Structures are given as structure tokens and as C-alpha cells.
């Protein structure tokens, strides 16, 4: 796997045998791995923020648990787009939802098959690097040609081909709906002119919905287009991220104006 951008993975796992297994396999895949036994140790030693492409966090840890570590990671601006995989022996739905709400992108339950685990690692890193490549390409362009911006490409769902909304955008890379503005050149989101901090997954989900506003998508549609096929069936993941988005962009997340629930179908972004 060619890694043109960040290639360092941070692992926080207090079980020495599991940590050694993960580090050995990730190193064989070409990654540099920083392995820590606790969150405190990790934050104390964390220096080169821009070299990290993924965090892998155990949940049951001494001191602060994986949920708290994840929340603290998401408070650091440089780490907002960096994916997080939660690793735990607890497979309850409530734990999974708690991890997603803390800002995690994926959740792997022990014991796990190493091939599946590595596939999930590569999927997260690949999406992150694609996002960073697009951002650096666009920001490095002096004239910012429209072709360089990842605008609304047609997608296919049960409803058929969806037309691109890019031609209707007032400025290249800008998507605007009422008080919500998504600037895909700067990879920023604003609500009523106030910048909203988002994880990379939240950003991509909002971007997809806004680009195809007025169209209702099932949870499986959203999983397929925003998460990828390997998340098939993980529909609760969509619900958690929708709830997180509503908390960030809606004036009243209990009565959303922008991200609407479509009974019997899923979700859509308001058309106006």
C-alpha cells in the first residue's frame, strides 16, 4: 500500500500480548506504530501530530478509558480528521454507541481475525489519505479550478441516478443551505457564520446529504456511499452520526430543520 501522506499509527493497549500482535502485523503492512499502555502515557509522548493517520484505542485501560481518550483526541484540532478505531472485548450495543458518540469511526470486538482487522485499518487510512490528498491538491492550486474540487458526483441508489448539484453552487466548492455553509476547499463547516468542528466522518456524511439535498436515503444507502461496503448492516452507526450532526448544526436538535427523518426510509437534507 503506497502511503503518500501520514503513515504513523498510534496504539493504546495495556495487554502486552495483544499490543505486540497488533504492532507486529501493522509493521509488516508498512506502518510505523507508536504503542502505549495508557492514555496518559500517550498524551505525554505525543509530539508530531501531523504524522498520524490512525488511532487504535482499547476501551478498558488504566486511568482514563478509551472513551475519554477518544473525546480528548477530538478536542485537538489537528486530530479532528484522523480516524479512530475502538478495540474492546465488550460487544454490547450501548458500548458501541458510546464509542461512536465519543468520536470513533469504527469498533472492533476482541477476539478478532487479524485479516479483518487489517482490512478495517487500511479502509480507514485509505479514506483519510484520500481526504488529505484532495485537501492539499485544492489548497495548493493558485486558480482553484473547479475540476480539482470534489463536487457532487452522481450516485446510484434504489431511486436511480442522482444528478450532480455542483452546477448550482454559487462558488466552486461551496455548498450553502440557509444558515449552513460547507466549504469543501477549506474543509470547513459553518452554521450562522460560526465554524463547527467535525470529525472527518461527520463532515463526509453532511457533505453527501447536502450535495443531494431533497433526496431521501436509507441507512444502507448512507453506509454504502459514506462508510463503504465493509460496514454493511451497521445501521446504528448512521443514527449515531446523524444525531451528532444535529447537535452541531441544528438550532434545536429535537426538532431538526436541516436533517430530516423520513419515516420508513431514512434521512434527507432539507431541499430549500
Residues 19, 24, 29, 32: what is their CA dihedral angle, to the nearest 10 degrees? Answer: 70
Phi and psi angles of residue 193, each rounded to the nearest 5 degrees, phi first: 70, 10
pLDDT at 142: 42
- Tell me what the mean pLDDT of segment 17-23 comes to: 94
Find the mean pLDDT for residues 40-44.
92
Q: How much is the pLDDT for 2?
A: 42
pLDDT bucket at 16, cuts 50 / 70 / 90: very high
pTM: 0.66
For residues 37-54, average pLDDT: 86
Q: Is the pLDDT of residue 17 over 50?
A: yes
Of residues 242 and 134, which shows the higher confidence score?
A: 242
Residues above pLDDT 90, as percent of the chain:
44
- The predicted-structure confidence for 107-146, as pLDDT tens digits, reads as follows 888 888 999 899 999 988 988 887 776 666 555 544 433 3
Q: What pLDDT score was predicted for residue 151?
A: 38
Tens of pLDDT, residues 219-237: 989 988 888 756 666 778 8
How far apart CA 38 and CA 69 sit, in angstroms, is 9
> What is the distance between the alpha carbons of residues 171 and 138, in angstroms, rounded to a whole number?
14
Q: Assign a CATH topology to domain 146-269.
A: Arc Repressor Mutant, subunit A (1.10.10)
**What is the structure's pLDDT at 67?**
93
Q: What is the pLDDT of residues 65-102, one digit of tens each?
A: 999 999 999 888 888 889 999 998 876 777 778 888 88
What are the cell numbers at 139?
Answer: 489548497
Instruction: Name the DSSP letter for residue 224.
Output: I
Q: Which candidate, 238, 76, 63, places its Cα nearest to that of 55?
A: 76
**Average pLDDT, rounded, for the chain:** 81
| pLDDT for position 94 | 78
What is the predicted pLDDT for the residue at 135?
62
For 8-139, CATH number out of 3.40.50.300, 1.10.3470.10, 1.10.240.10, 3.40.50.2300 equals 3.40.50.2300
Q: Which three cell numbers stand for residue 6?
A: 501520514
Say which residue, 155 or 205, is predicted with more confidence. 205
The cell for 192 is 450562522
Is the per-residue pLDDT at 1 higher than 60? no
pLDDT > 90? residue 56: yes
Q: Domain residues of the chain, as ranges?
A: 8-139, 146-269
Amino acid at each position: 500500500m503506497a502511503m503518500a501522506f501520514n503513515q504513523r499509527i498510534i496504539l493504546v493497549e495495556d495487554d502486552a500480548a495483544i499490543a505486540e500482535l497488533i504492532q507486529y502485523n501493522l509493521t509488516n503492512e508498512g506502518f510505523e506504530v507508536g504503542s502505549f499502555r495508557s492514555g496518559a502515557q500517550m498524551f505525554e509522548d505525543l509530539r508530531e501530530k501531523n504524522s498520524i493517520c490512525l488511532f487504535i484505542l482499547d476501551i478498558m485501560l488504566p486511568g482514563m478509558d478509551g472513551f475519554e481518550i477518544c473525546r480528548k483526541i477530538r478536542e485537538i484540532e489537528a486530530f479532528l480528521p484522523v480516524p479512530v478505531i475502538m478495540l474492546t472485548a465488550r460487544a454490547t450495543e450501548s458500548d458501541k454507541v458510546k464509542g461512536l458518540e465519543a468520536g470513533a469511526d469504527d469498533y472492533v470486538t476482541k477476539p478478532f481475525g487479524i485479516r479483518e482487522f487489517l482490512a478495517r485499518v487500511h479502509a480507514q487510512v485509505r479514506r483519510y489519505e484520500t481526504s488529505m490528498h484532495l485537501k492539499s491538491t485544492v489548497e495548493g492550486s493558485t486558480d482553484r479550478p473547479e475540476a480539482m474540487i470534489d463536487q457532487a458526483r452522481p450516485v446510484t441508489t434504489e431511486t436511480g441516478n442522482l444528478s450532480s448539484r455542483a452546477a448550482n453552487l454559487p462558488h466552486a466548492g461551496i455548498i450553502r443551505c440557509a444558515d449552513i455553509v460547507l466549504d469543501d476547499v477549506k474543509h470547513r463547516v459553518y452554521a450562522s457564520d460560526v465554524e463547527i468542528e467535525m470529525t472527518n466522518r461527520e463532515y463526509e456524511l453532511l457533505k453527501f446529504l447536502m450535495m443531494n439535498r431533497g433526496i431521501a436515503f436509507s441507512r444502507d444507502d448512507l453506509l454504502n456511499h459514506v462508510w463503504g461496503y465493509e460496514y454493511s448492516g451497521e445501521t446504528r452507526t448512521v443514527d449515531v452520526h446523524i444525531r451528532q450532526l444535529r447537535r452541531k448544526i441544528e438550532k434545536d436538535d429535537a426538532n431538526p430543520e436541516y436533517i430530516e427523518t423520513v419515516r420508513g426510509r431514512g434521512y434527507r437534507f432539507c431541499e430549500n
